[in-house]
Amino acid sequence: MSRLTACVRAATLVCAGLATILTSTQSTFAFDRNKAQLFAVLPDGATLPEGLVVAPNGDVYVATFDGSKKIVVFDDDGRLRRTLSVNASSGFLLGIAFHPQTHAFLVIDFGAGKVLKVDPHTGGASDFITLANPAGSGLNALTFDHAGNVYVSDSFNGAIWKSGPSGQLGLTTPWVQNALLKTTGDPPFGANGLGFNKAQSILFVANTGNDTIVQIPVDNSTNPPSHGAPVIFTNSINGADGLILDDHDNLWVCANQSDEIVVVDKNGKVIAKLGDFEGLVDDGTPKGLLFPASPGFSRDKKTVFVTNLAIDLTVATGNPANIAVDTPWIRKVEHWTVSKIDTRFQTLPDK
């Protein structure tokens, strides 16, 4: 073997070894994104899926924000069960939830500035929470405490409204109103998704336009529970939208401007980033996440379902300045979807 041949072979082995090391390093330290898979496609006449809740029997309810007044119901395999028409609403529906104690199906009517109690089989509706002055409100998402009280975020007033388990008509004063829950950013929504930790000592609230999660301390020793001053829990979740908490107090947050689910531990450290946008297929159907809005765990907690709102904010707000990097893709969407993601992920090493 010539000296030149030996040198070439040695260099080849060194390069191959270096490539192996780099590949191993990248696979070891990169986020395992757990691809977002297709769960369901909305039927014709239903677009802009926003609110989502998994019913006690496992059915997945999806509210639409398109003026159609529709709530679409799928079974846990993504098969269409029925489509409800909430005729008593404005048609611009956002957060939805089943009350943990009364099992009432609650639906936020963003357009009318109220929360409705809706029959989950017929779509018939009645007022559950109303505001004395709904003009200018932006009711968005809702959650509950252990006592069954209902908490509703207000994106435009920078507030959280609260009622008892049976609702309340004519609310006049927010439970919390704070500058940290308002925004001048983009998308132009402040307080959005919200949820309690297991101890019910903190209410977490996403601020979409500020890319933040705000924490509100709650004192359960008082009756009714009182709250402290809101503070920033963490920053830099791009378009923080709907959120839920798991049994370990990790926050699963829809980042609607970066098309991913960001999982943050109870100390505010990111431990996973799940899903991504992978283009359009099948005549305008998003593959993966596109403006993810609301998450919800399956009954066995092995899956998180996510609505893909895919909304053109320049049209929704009438402001050309609300254009985003995904807007050209969103304008080509013809079929709206709900995604599913495996919740079992490998966290980054932390030694």
Work out the pLDDT band at 188, boundaries 50, 70, 90: very high
153 and 282 share one domain: yes
Q: Is residue 349 part of a domain?
A: no
74 and 209 share one domain: yes
Q: CA-to-CA distance for 252 and 334, rounded, in angstroms? A: 28
- Residue 185 and residue 211 in contact, taking contact as beta carbons nearer than 8 Å: yes
216 and 253 share one domain: yes
Q: Is the pTM of this model over 0.75?
A: yes
The answer to whether residue 26 scores a pLDDT higher than 50 is no
What is the reported pLDDT for 9? Answer: 55
- Rounded mean pLDDT of the chain? 92
If you write DSSP's letter for every residue of 80-127 in order, what string do you get?
EEEEEE-TTS-S-EEEEEE-TTT--EEEEETTTTEEEEE-TTT--EEE
7 and 40 share one domain: no
258 and 181 share one domain: yes
Mean pLDDT value across residues 289-317: 97
User: Which residues, listed in sequence order, are joined to residue 71 by a DSSP beta bridge?
Assistant: 63, 84
270 and 248 share one domain: yes
Q: Is residue 242 part of a domain?
A: yes
What is the reported pLDDT for 8? Answer: 43
Nearest to 142 by CA among 105, 97, 177: 97
The answer to whether residue 14 scores a pLDDT higher than 50 is no
CATH code at 233? 2.120.10.30
Distances (CA, A) of 232 to 69, 206, 241, 310, 327: 35, 10, 15, 28, 29
Give percent of the chain above pLDDT 90: 87
Work out the pLDDT band at 31, boundaries 50, 70, 90: low
213 and 303 share one domain: yes
Q: Name the DSSP letter for residue 322.
A: G
Q: Is residue 248 part of a domain?
A: yes
6 and 24 share one domain: yes
Q: Is residue 59 part of a domain?
A: yes
Q: Is residue 347 part of a domain?
A: no
Single-letter amino acid code for the residue at 85: S
Reduced to 3 states, what is the DSSP secondary structure of residue 270?
strand
What are residue 18's phi and psi, to 5 degrees? Answer: -65, -40
Mean pLDDT value across residues 230-256: 98
The answer to whether residue 4 scores a pLDDT higher than 70 is no
19 and 155 share one domain: no
HEC letters along 185-227: CCCCCCEEEEEECCCCCEEEEEECCCCEEEEEEEECCCCCCEE
20 and 51 share one domain: no
Q: Is residue 80 part of a domain?
A: yes
Q: Is residue 161 part of a domain?
A: yes
Work out the pLDDT band at 2, boundaries 50, 70, 90: low
Q: Is residue 76 part of a domain?
A: yes
Q: CA-to-CA distance for 157 and 186, rounded, in angstroms? A: 16
Q: CA-to-CA distance for 213 and 204, rounded, in angstroms? A: 7
- Split into its structural domains, the chain has a count of 2
18 and 101 share one domain: no
16 and 159 share one domain: no
Work out the pLDDT band at 223, boundaries 50, 70, 90: confident
Structural domain boundaries, residue 161: 31-342
314-349 pLDDT, tens per residue?
999 999 999 999 999 999 999 999 999 999 998 777
